[in-house]
Amino acid sequence: MKLIFAGILAGLMATTAAKADEMVFTSWGGTTQEAQTKSWAEPFSASSGIKVLQDGPTDYGKLKAMVDAKNVTWDVVDVEMDFAIKAAKDGLLEPIDFAVVPKDDLDPRFSNENAVGSFYYSFVLAWNKSAVSGEPASWADMFDTKKFPGKRTFYKWSAPGVIEIALLADGVPADKLYPLDLDRAFKKLDTIKSDIVWWGGGAESQQLIASGEAAFGQLWNGRVFALEKDGADVGVSWNQNLTAADVLVVPKGAKNKDAAMKFLAAATSPTGQAKFAEASGYAPINTKAKAEMPADVVKGLPDAHVDSQINLDMNYWAEHRDEIATRWYAWQAK
Amino acid sequence: MSVEAQQGIATPRIPAGLGGLLPALILIGLFFVVPVLALLLRSVTDPAPGLQNYAALLGDGTYARVFFNTFLVAAVVTIVTVLVAFPVAWMLAIMPPVLASILFGIIILSMWTNLLTRTYAWMVLLQRTGVINRALMGAGIIDQPLPLINNLTGVTIGMVYIMLPFMILPLVGTLRAIDPMTLRAAALCGASPLAAFRRILLPLSLPGIAAGGLMVFVMSLGYFVTPALLGGTSNMMLAEMIAQMIQSLLNWGLGSAAAFILLVVTMALYALQLRLVGARRTTGGA
């Protein structure tokens, strides 16, 4: 008996203790992580000799469990920015070593002491052209069931986006969004609640729109980009596109911190960012990346729609994450 | 089922030697009892010692609704599963053995297919633009797509499909053990087929129904994937809420408390059933 347990323990320790020339990168799987592997991990391994093992999907509960148990097997994790700000406050993250990671060219909106940008994206209004007559032009149209009948799809989880959309649709000016008026937002959402189909992940959002199951919806621009590339008959409005970002963090107590910092430097470099943007349709967080990208790719990025762009306030969300989430899920379950 | 059990004679079995049980006990202790105790501990210590997590759960209308939903879905799924499984099990029990084993193979095979794949397949079938709605609209039977998904209907269909083998298997065992002569005797005594079913077959198959039903009900209570994909947010079940608490809100104390309440209620139901149906019948059916 003892022997067996000793054997299992030894086996576990052998698999969790990555060697010095290895590190683990965790992201959300699917097309996004594939693009990250190709654009960042493979060139990085080739130049540094450090092997990058892929894991995923990102799971905040798991991240916290690892840090709490002081057995951290992830070295770099792709997370949503509002989570990163909250996690840093809770002591779950290592500070970024800016001696290794060059900071000067990073978009200051998406980096801080404990996180560097991974990519930034916009929520855009997308629709299935065969399921919609006319062209929805603003979020307000998504709440107009007379003018635009049919199901509409929104992001299911409590996260920056839907609350802001409801408020914008209700006539709140972009610069007066924060602090969020939750009562007003939920009241507005109540008016279309029975017409909402929720999407929980990017692939689901694509499936809903492409099949016409939902006539329109709030989608990540990269997912619409992929639909268009596949030849799906979708329309997109960048009016009031809402930006949010994913960031890269190093969990507290990561075993390969040095390798992780070097990886971050490569991932946020102009070349790494340019390649990733080209593959995913998401925008680079390095201001020098655009110079390295083909013009037609630049045209399709959120960067090309800055005039009609609204930045979701990650700091506000980090501050009120729990409070909003509690109300959000209670409202959904009603 | 043995003749003894059918006649209700209890024969308590005392294990010959506890030594042989030790590995099993260690396994259960290490992987079931310890984690559950840790869960309980966390639910009363995180973020601070006290019962505030339980107070929050029991005092809030949302959580009450989610609890209610969970039991409603589990009950509906169990009842529908019994209704669908019984004829199939009966057919399997009286079929020629070769045919029965082929059919068994098909049923078991479906259990080996990935759960997510099967659930996604239901999405494709059930959605507004899905196969079923298109066929019905094409045939002119309906004008508007039927709401088959993102609601209780979708959850029930998807979960019944997944739970069926767990009901059929114990039921076939019970039905096969029933002496066919009892039915013939009933017919000879003038019982109509319905009366024979109601007074002979059904009572004799109750142990199988109880065993399968309990398994399906308990499994349904903690189900996550299928309700999450085929259900709407307004019929959210407890497992999904716990996942939100653990993964998204990182409120482990609250999540642990919710999980522990579910565990206690499930155990209580199990105890109740043992009392009503009797331990022998519940466990002896398969």
Query: Which CATH number characterizes residue A49's domain?
Result: 3.40.190.10
pLDDT band at residue B54 using 50, 70 and 90 as cut-offs: very high
A90 with A106, same domain: the answer is yes
* Helix axis angle, A314-333 to A182-190, nearest 10°: 40
| DSSP three-state, residue B264 | helix
More confident: A287 or B60: A287
Question: Given an 8 Å threshold on Cβ–Cβ distance, is B236 in contact with A333?
Answer: yes
- pLDDT at B249 exceeding the cut of 90: no
CB contact under 8 A, A157 and B248: yes
* The total number of structural domains that make up chain A: 2
Query: With an 8 Å Cβ cutoff, is B56 touching chain A?
Result: no
**A103 and A153 fall within a common domain:** no
Q: Which residues pair with B180 in a beta bridge?
A: none
Query: Which chain B positions have a beta carbon within 8 Å of A211's beta carbon?
Result: 127, 129
The reply to whether B127 falls in a domain is: yes
Check whether residue A181 and residue A221 sit in a common domain. Answer: yes
**Residues A103 and A139 occupy one common structural domain:** no
pTM as predicted? 0.79
Strand partners, A249: A77
Residues 6+ away with beta carbon under 8 Å from B185: none
**A325 closest CB neighbour out of B130, B249, B252:** B249
- What is the band of B12 on the pLDDT scale with cuts at 50, 70, 90? low
Cα–Cα distance between A213 and A41 in angstroms, integer? 36
Residues A44 and A187 grouped into a single domain: no
From the CA of A203, how many Å to the nearest CA of chain B? 12
Q: Which residue in the set A197, A212, A333 is minimally distant from B66, CB to CB?
A: A333
C-alpha B156/C-alpha B145 separation (Å) is 18
pLDDT tier at B41 (50, 70, 90 boundaries)?
Answer: very high
Per CB-CB distance under 8 Å, the chain A contacts of B249 are 321-322, 325-326
CB atoms inside a 10 Å sphere around CB A88: 19
Interface check for B159 against chain A (CB to CB < 8 A): the answer is no
Please tell me whether residues A151 and A101 are part of one structural domain. no
B7 within domain boundaries: no
Domain that holds residue B95: 42-284
CB-based contact A325 B244, cutoff 8 Å? yes
Are A27 and A101 within one domain?
A: yes
Which chain A residues are closer than 8 Å to B66 by Cβ? 333
Please tell me whether residues A57 and A173 are part of one structural domain: no
Give the residue ranges of DSSP H helices in chain A: 2-16, 30-36, 42-48, 60-68, 81-89, 139-142, 162-169, 182-190, 202-211, 221-229, 257-267, 270-280, 295-299, 314-333
Same domain, A323 and A190: yes
Contact assignment for B65 to A334 by CB distance below 8 Å:
yes
| Residues of A with Cβ-Cβ distance to B150 under 8 angstroms | 197-198
Per residue of chain A (334 residues), give pLDDT as tens: 444 555 555 444 444 444 568 999 999 887 889 999 999 999 999 999 999 999 988 999 999 999 999 999 999 999 999 999 999 999 999 999 999 999 999 999 999 999 999 999 999 999 999 999 889 999 999 999 999 999 999 999 889 999 999 999 999 999 999 999 999 999 999 999 999 999 988 888 998 999 898 999 999 998 898 898 888 899 999 999 999 999 999 999 999 999 999 999 999 999 999 999 999 889 999 999 999 998 888 888 888 898 899 999 999 999 998 899 889 988 988 8
- What average pLDDT score do residues B114-127 get? 89
ipTM of the complex: 0.72
- Answer yes or no: is B216 within a domain: yes
Determine whether the interchain pair B244/A329 forms a contact, defined as Cβ–Cβ distance below 8 Å. yes
Q: How many domains does chain B have?
A: 1
Nearest-angstrom CA–CA distance, B90 and B103: 12
Q: Which range marks the domain in which residue A82 is found?
A: 2-120+245-304
In total, the C-beta contacts within 8 angstroms joining chain A to chain B are 57
Residue of A nearest to B150 (CA): A197
pLDDT score recorded for residue B87: 95
Q: Would residue B16 count as lying in a domain?
A: no
Which CATH number do you get for residue B73? 1.10.3720.10
The H or E element containing residue B162 is helix B152-177
